[in-house]
Amino acid sequence: MNLLADVRLRAGSFRLAARFEAAAGETLALLGPNGAGKSTLVRAIAGLAPLEEGEIVLGEAVLERPRDGVRLPPPERRMGVVFQDLLLFPHLSVRDNVAYGPRSRGRGAGEARRIAAEWVERLEIGHRASAFPASLSGGEARRVALARALASEPETLLLDEPLASLDVEAVRSVTRLLRATLASFGGVKILVTHRPVEALALADRLAILEAGEIVQTGRPAEVSRRPLTRYVASFVGLNLVRGVVRRDGPQADVRWEGGEIRAARCEEPDGADVMATVHPRSIAVSLERPGGSPRNVIRGRVGSIDVSAGSVRIGVDARPPLFAEITPEALSELRLAEGTEVWLSFKAAEVEVYAG
């Protein structure tokens, strides 16, 4: 049973026009920057934001299709939803919060409490069954919200930023639990996040949402190898440039207004619109113009310096803007700071070119 979501609506001045399909059994990560429309899309699929155009179809069932006057209310859509802000009922215990799921599907009070008891144990919060939401930790509250969604016996599971606002230890434990839960759930699973690590760790397939539109879909390895936008390239750790091919035998220049990059290999025809990527680790940083063999030499100024365990990511304002990855020792030796003029160099063999 697959889900087809063709969602077109306005929320104030924001226009959402996103279409994707998700197959039963797979986890689809809906990934995008803040403000891309991810939560609005989840609300629309769940039936909480009406479509202006498009349709939402689950298997053979049309859940919403404005042109035919069809719009099922949320309880009839058989969707379990974990919202970013959880929306736990503050006046109900953990057990009764979870029991609300099956009760909303018409189960009797006794049966609902039995189902709730099973789920709070499965999600490792049985010891908090009598507690109220105000006394729960962030990780415990997210387990309760997930248990409530699953207890309703949904056909589709929608998780909106399930790891948001958790500390490091809670992220580890909830991620482990999510991975096991998603693996055992046979329906459609949609995970909404702006965190690439979360998407890559939990998803079978990615759908990238930018400014209200799906700009790329594919398996993580496919998207990582050939990103189609700067945002996608940034979260998989690549530099990306759009340009036009000018061939020179097996080699080619990728040209755009303001510059060009040389690539050692290119299969696209002369004049084709293409993408060119280069990994930040392949870019050397120096204070003087380098000599030697690099075919790509670009001057710019350091715009940002981000230090993490064992590496330093340097953002350079240049044409095009690029990121380079160096060691902490190199950062100290070069004495780099924001505003420092630098030269970037990389070999033509490090550039991958593909159709844009």
Q: Judge whether residue 239 has pLDDT over 90.
A: yes
Q: Report whether CATH 3.30.360.10 matches the domain 3-227.
A: no
Q: Is 238 exposed, middle or buried (0-12, 13-18, 19+ CB in 10 A)?
A: buried
Could you read off the pLDDT of 124-142 as tens digits, one per residue?
A: 899 999 999 999 998 899 8
- Number of helices followed by number of strands (H, E) in the chain: 9, 21
Could you read off the pLDDT of 183-222 as tens digits, one per residue?
A: 999 999 999 988 888 888 889 999 999 999 999 999 998 9
Give Rg (Cα) of the chain: 24
State whether residue 208 is helix, strand or coil: strand
Name the class of domain 237-355: mainly beta
Could you read off the pLDDT of 63-101 as tens digits, one per residue?
A: 999 999 999 999 899 999 998 888 899 999 999 999 998
Q: Judge whether residue 309 has pLDDT over 80.
A: no
In the chain, the amino acid numbered 84 is Q
DSSP bridge pairs for 190: 28, 158
Q: What is the pLDDT of residue 310?
A: 83
Cα dihedral across residues 70, 72, 78, 82: positive or negative = positive
Q: What is the pLDDT of residue 343?
A: 97
Q: What is the mean pLDDT of residues 244-272?
A: 90
Q: What is the pLDDT of residue 128?
A: 93
* 25-to-1, 138, 148 alpha-carbon distances in Å: 9, 28, 20
pTM: 0.82
Please, what is the average pLDDT of the chain?
A: 92
Q: What is the mean pLDDT of residues 106-122?
A: 91
Instruction: Of 1, 139, 155, 145, give the one whose Cα is nearest residue 83.
Output: 145
DSSP bridge pairs for 275: 242, 354
More confident residue, 46 or 194: 46
| Residue carrying the six token digits 């550039």 | 351
Q: What is the pLDDT of residue 236?
A: 86
Find out whether 101 and 80 touch, Cβ atoms under 8 Å.
Answer: yes
Domain residue limits, the chain: 3-227, 237-355
| Residue carrying the six token digits 């969602």 | 7
| Residue carrying the six token digits 């329906």 | 187
Could you read off the pLDDT of 131-182 as tens digits, one per residue?
A: 999 999 988 998 999 999 999 889 999 999 888 877 778 888 888 888 888 9
The rounded percent of the chain whose pLDDT value lies above 90 is: 73
| Residue carrying the six token digits 């330093």 | 312
CA dihedral 106, 108, 110, 114 (to 10 degrees): -20
* 63-to-2, 213, 222, 246 alpha-carbon distances in Å: 13, 21, 31, 49
Find out whether 193 and 31 touch, Cβ atoms under 8 Å.
Answer: yes
Q: Residues with Cβ < 8 Å from 114, sequence gap 6 or more?
A: none
Q: What is the pLDDT of residue 121?
A: 92
The rounded percent of the chain whose pLDDT value lies above 70 is: 100
Q: What is the mean pLDDT of residues 46-55?
A: 96
* 71-to-43, 55, 187 alpha-carbon distances in Å: 14, 9, 21
Q: Judge whether residue 294 has pLDDT over 80.
A: no
Q: How far apart are CA 278 and CA 350, in angstroms?
A: 6
Question: Residue 228 — very low, low, confident or very high, per pLDDT cuts 50/70/90?
Answer: very high
Q: What is the pLDDT of residue 251?
A: 87
Q: Judge whether residue 7 has pLDDT over 90.
A: yes
Q: What is the pLDDT of residue 104?
A: 82
Q: What is the pLDDT of residue 308?
A: 83
DSSP bridge pairs for 64: 56, 71
Residue 330 CB neighbour total at 10 angstroms? 17
Identify the helix (H) or strand (E) that includes residue 99: helix 94-104
For 27-38, b where at least 16 C-beta lie within 10 A, e where not — what string?
bbbbbbeeebbb
Quote the tokens at residue 176: 């482990």
Q: Judge whether residue 356 has pLDDT over 80.
A: no
Asked if the bond preceding 269 is cis, omega within 30° of 0, the reply is no
More confident residue, 209 or 251: 209
Find out whether 321 and 335 touch, Cβ atoms under 8 Å.
Answer: no
Angle at 8 between CA 3 and CA 11, to 5 degrees: 120
